[in-house]
Amino acid sequence: MIDFFVLSAAGGFAMYWFFFRNKKQDQPTFKKLTVTPVVERGSSSGFINKMKNTNRNVVVFYGSQTGTAEEFATRLAKDATRYGMKGMVADPEECDMEDLSQLTEIENSLVIFCLATYGEGDPTDNAQEFYDYLQGGGTDLDGIKYAVFALGNKTYEHFNAMGKYVDSRLEELGATRLIEVGLGDDDSNIEEDFVSWREKFWPIVCEHFGVQATGDDSSIRQYSLQVNEDLPKEKIYHGEISRLGSFNVQKPPYDAKNPFLAPIIANRELHKGGDRSCMHIELDITGSKIRYESGDHVAVYPMNDPDIVERIGKRLETDLDTVITLTNVDEEASKKHPFPNPTSYRTALTHYLDIQSPPRTHILRELAEYAEDPKEKEFLMSMTSSDGKDKYNDWIVKDHRNILAILDDLKSLKPPMDHICEMLPRLQARYYSISSSPKIHPTSIHITAVLISYTTRTGRSVKGVATKWLADKPVTDGKTYTVPIFVRKSQFRLPFKPSTPVIMIGPGTGLAPFRGFLQERDYLKKEGKPVGETILYFGCRYKAQDFIYEEEINQYLKNGSLTKLHIAFSRDQKEKVYVQHLLNKNKEEIWRLLENGGHIYVCGDARNMAREVHDMLERSVIEQGNLDATKAAEYIKKLQSKGRYSCDVW
Ligand code: FAD
């Protein structure tokens, strides 16, 4: 994860250790996380020894790509304290998972897994090794007690595959499941799924281990605040992800912890009309040694809207330029700080914290402690249990209330800024399917992004964090704007042999990777290589407004690099037409290409389009291949496993 960094400057500066700077008399007192002093009992640094040395009996492993699984793991580890147990959070990538069997050496011990599923049923990057280990055999886990909460999205075919796999594999290896695997669905309300599962889980733990809730439900502060005065600028983080000063002195290789500051060299509107906006952005990677392939993703670290940051500072009456360090009171924790420190509140709110997403229930619970008005306190608390899920869904999720909106609407809330910084999750990088080919553009990476813009039921106007930030970076105002980026390799690849036919299905911004594919096939054709049939399905609302890259596509059609173009303009006529309708009409063509070894690619909307395209594909196989439903499903599975049917959907 991106949270590791060295706090090198801390020792030399004045330290102010307290939980409430500006503590007011009527402010609540939060319990400090008590940690047993470290008693050296072994030389090994393994997680079992760490647990023994710090008297912990609960370990919560997370497989996290966007931070949610890690956040849930942290909440469960904190929960343990409320039941007289002691928990710790651990990253499987940093642990020797073979040691799991030794958990039996710790009395009343329990292992919990919070595991997200990524992409096409894959483990997250940090859980890959653990997954390989389990697949390769694992070890005897007799006597181990475990629970799994899985995080996934129902719109994807392999819903929660990773969590389900680990849950059943642990049982096969002899471990004892305490509760049925929790299935979190990010497509509806994963917070609600987690809260409901957790409410069932802890009573089972209590019964199993004969422990009881301590009754102390007060929040636990994880980080202590230190205000740093007169720190020189070069000792303060200004948005760097890991290495201090990395934005001033850039050094390859570039990755998630060390992003490259790519200058924006083009930023133009692709829509020709209407009130929506789609940007074509070119990022210069000259001299960066960054390599990419058509089909890869580029990740962008965005900044929050300075206006929202300023308003939070005003509302909480805090000097945003105060330079702080937040340090984990648990000295044994692998995560020492919630984000790179020392830094100012302004930088934390701008670069490191997610201030725009609707907060989860544990944040509401902690905020409630700061409500001076008992009605507001009760209101917030009422949304934090599974009984209050409808209220939470309505007031927080459906109204899209972010932290600022909550503070604006509940006037008696007076949380200190350092606790806000502790509570909020990390701002995540946004991924984009690269819309260029390195064959044509070796020194630039192109992005095709729709500007997110909507009005909530409360009348608040909201813009997407990253897309608004990118939209505000024109190349025409004489300034050079840079964007912190890194490239993430994907499995979405053109066939090895250019002569293999391809069908690409990409409505809207789903066209992005196919623009790269088309550039590549066009280049190979011009080089004299035999390029197979290349068929594109594209869809948009109106031909005159949002047919993006129309001229380029027509050019490829003209010179034969694009063999066929099927377009669905959904709103140019009375009946709505989508790409899946066109696929339905062309079942014969699809079957012919599949039987000739063709590859099918789908990119764009995961919720409706990808699913309906999948159904349509299945129907083509049933009808044209004369197969029954089971055989057709097997046929499609085989295509997937051979890399001949790939999806890049979000
Ligand atoms: P955010 O601030 O993250 O806001 C987005 C959120 O706003 C949504 O999750 C939703 O909760 C809410 N929202 C959005 N619209 C509405 C609405 N009308 N009403 C109510 N709520 C709404 N995007 C592209 O444009 N092009 C790409 O090529 C592309 N490729 C991707 C590839 C991958 C692998 C992934 C994972 C995502 C890709 N995305 C792409 C999506 C992209 O990463 C961002 O999610 C997107 O740009 C929005 O980011 P943002 O920060 O501007 O919006």
DSSP 384: S
Q: Which long-range contacts (CB under 8 A, 24 or more apart) does 587-595 make?
A: 587/619, 587/620, 587/623, 587/624, 588/624, 589/535, 590/503, 590/617, 590/620, 590/624, 591/620, 591/621, 591/624, 591/625, 593/501, 593/503, 593/533, 593/535, 594/620, 594/621, 594/639, 594/644
Q: Measured from the CA of 451, which atom of ligand 1 is nearest?
A: 52
Q: What is the DSSP string of 138-179?
A: ----TT-EEEEEEEE-TTSTTTTHHHHHHHHHHHHTT-EESS
Residues 6+ apart with CB under 8 A from 443: 284, 285, 286
Q: Are both 31-217 and 502-649 of the same fold?
A: yes
CATH of 252-302+429-490, one of 3.30.310.50, 3.40.50.1000, 2.40.30.10, 2.30.30.280: 2.40.30.10
466 CA to centre of ligand 1 in angstroms: 8
Q: In the CATH hierarchy, which top-level class contains the domain 502-649?
A: alpha beta
| Ligand 1, pocket-test mutation among 267, 308, 403, 430, most atoms within 8 A of CB | 430
pLDDT at residue 13, as a whole number: 33
Is residue 167 within 8 A of residue 181, CB to CB? The reply is yes
Q: Measured from the CA of 469, which atom of ligand 1 is nearest?
A: 52
DSSP 122: E
90 CA to centre of ligand 1 in angstroms: 29
Q: Closest by alpha carbon to 353, among 256, 450, 432, 419?
A: 419
Nearest CA residue ID for atom 16, ligand 1 = 454
| Ligand 1, pocket-test mutation among 403, 424, 432, most atoms within 8 A of CB | 432
Residues with CB under 6 A from ligand 1: 297, 302, 356, 400, 430-433, 448-450, 452, 454, 464-467, 509, 512, 650
- Residues marked active site are found at 433, 603, 648, 650
449 CA to centre of ligand 1 in angstroms: 9
Q: Measured from the CA of 278, which atom of ligand 1 is nearest?
A: 25
Nearest CA residue ID for atom 50, ligand 1 = 464
| Ligand 1, pocket-test mutation among 65, 156, 467, 470, most atoms within 8 A of CB | 467
451 CA to centre of ligand 1 in angstroms: 8
Nearest CA residue ID for atom 7, ligand 1 = 464
Q: Measured from the CA of 430, which atom of ligand 1 is nearest?
A: 43
- How many of the other CB atoms lie within 10 Å of CB of 40? 7
**Rounded CA gap, 433 and 449, in Å?**
9
Enter the tokens of residue 597: 């070894």
C-alpha count within 13 angstroms, C-beta hemisphere, residue 21: 23
Enter the tokens of residue 163: 């969590």
The bridge status of strand 110-118 relative to strand 87-90 is unpaired
Q: Measured from the CA of 467, which atom of ligand 1 is nearest?
A: 52
Is residue 241 within 8 A of residue 426, CB to CB? The reply is no
pLDDT at residue 28, as a whole number: 52
Is residue 348 within 8 A of residue 318, CB to CB? The reply is no
Nearest CA residue ID for atom 52, ligand 1 = 464
Residue 417's identity, in one-letter code, is M
Q: Measured from the CA of 434, which atom of ligand 1 is nearest?
A: 28
- How many of the other CB atoms lie within 10 Å of CB of 13? 17
**Rounded CA gap, 242 and 337, in Å?**
12
pLDDT at residue 607, as a whole number: 85
31-217 CATH fold: Rossmann fold (3.40.50)
Instruction: Give the residue extent of every domain in the chain.
Output: 31-217, 252-302+429-490, 502-649
Could you report the average pLDDT of every consecutive run of 10 residues in the chain (650 residues)? Answer: 32 34 43 42 69 94 94 93 91 95 96 93 94 94 97 91 98 98 92 93 95 75 94 96 95 96 98 97 98 98 98 98 95 88 98 97 95 97 91 96 98 97 96 98 98 98 98 92 97 97 98 98 97 98 97 97 97 92 95 97 93 94 96 96 94
Residue with tokens 């999750």: 425
**Rounded CA gap, 356 and 354, in Å?**
6
Beta bridge partners of 328: 223
Is residue 31 within 8 A of residue 218, CB to CB? The reply is yes
The bridge status of strand 461-463 relative to strand 223-228 is unpaired
Residue with tokens 């002899």: 174
396 CA to centre of ligand 1 in angstroms: 19
pLDDT per position as a tens digit, 290-341: 999 999 999 999 999 999 999 999 999 999 999 999 999 888 777 899 999 9
pLDDT at residue 45, as a whole number: 63
374 CA to centre of ligand 1 in angstroms: 37
538 CA to centre of ligand 1 in angstroms: 20
